[in-house]
């Protein structure tokens, strides 16, 4: 029943003027995929810089708050690009993702990853000048790495599930 409603919604979405325009213009999907990949690269590099510093594995010559303030805005800039490019990919072919367990898992992990990134931002900027991370920051950094890698993996798996 729930699945039928979801598939009806997908059918509606792909027949909206936007859905039809995306299907009729061959360049939209590859362009959105390119934007998606570029934004993923920028986001992941920033996540790695922050999380590896929080785990004392990289960039120890700078404090955590310095690294957080250096990279956090790249993350908040990349996310809307991912949201817009991803949403346009969905409207062009909704059932491929909305009804796909890999996509649903990706979205759940994304919500958790955003909350954890906010937590790291808050703790990181509070510990101005901190040389070594405390246990809480380290735990958040490990969860963050697991979630962001999981998001990338499930994003790629959408094509195969
Ligand atoms: C913010 C909301 C997002 C939406 C709505 C979204 C949606 C999508 C959609 C529809 C696809 C195409 C899947 C397919 O047809 O094969 C895709 C691919 C992908 N997404 Fe996202 N995505 C979002 C964010 C992210 C984030 C934050 C990441 C990782 C950091 C990510 C990683 C990927 C990857 C790795 C692919 C596969 C790209 C490819 O193989 O061409 N996405 N996403």
Work out the average pLDDT over 17-38: 98
Do the Cβ atoms of 150 and 109 come closer than 8 Å?
yes
Write out the residue range of the structural domain in which residue 124 sits: 2-160
Give the pLDDT score at 91: 98
Task: Write out pLDDT tens, residues 84-130.
Answer: 999 999 999 999 999 999 999 999 999 999 999 999 999 887 766 66
Which ligand 1 atom lies nearest to the CA of residue 153? 35
Of the candidates 75, 69, 82, which has an alpha carbon nearest to the alpha carbon of residue 38?
A: 82
Atom 30, ligand 1: residue with shortest CA distance: 40
Which residue from 33, 36, 90, 161 has its CB within 8 A of the most atoms of ligand 1, so it is best to mutate?
36
- Which residue's entry shows tokens 């998001």? 151
Atom 8, ligand 1: residue with shortest CA distance: 86
The model's pTM is 0.93
d(Cα 127, Cα 20) in Å, to the nearest integer? 50
d(Cα 128, Cα 141) in Å, to the nearest integer? 17
Domain count, the chain: 1
Q: What distance in angstroms lies between residue 123's CA and the mean position of ligand 1's atoms?
A: 28
Atom 25, ligand 1: residue with shortest CA distance: 82
């Amino acid at each position: 029943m729930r699945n039928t409603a979801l598939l009806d919604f997908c059918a509606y979405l792909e027949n909206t003027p936007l859905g039809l325009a995306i299907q009729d213009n061959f360049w939209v999907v590859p362009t959105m995929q390119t934007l998606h990949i570029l934004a993923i690269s920028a986001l992941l590099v920033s996540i790695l810089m922050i999380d590896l510093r929080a785990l004392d594995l990289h960039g120890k010559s700078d404090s955590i708050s310095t690294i957080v303030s250096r990279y956090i805005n790249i993350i908040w800039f990349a996310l809307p690009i991912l949201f817009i490019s991803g949403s346009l990919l969905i409207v062009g072919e909704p059932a491929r993702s909305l009804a796909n367990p890999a996509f649903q898992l990706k979205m759940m992990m994304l919500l958790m990853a955003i909350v954890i990134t906010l937590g790291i931002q808050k703790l990181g900027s509070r510990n101005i000048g901190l040389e070594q991370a405390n246990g809480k920051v380290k735990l958040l950094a490990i969860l963050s790495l697991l979630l962001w890698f999981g998001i990338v993996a499930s994003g790629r798996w959408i094509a195969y599930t």
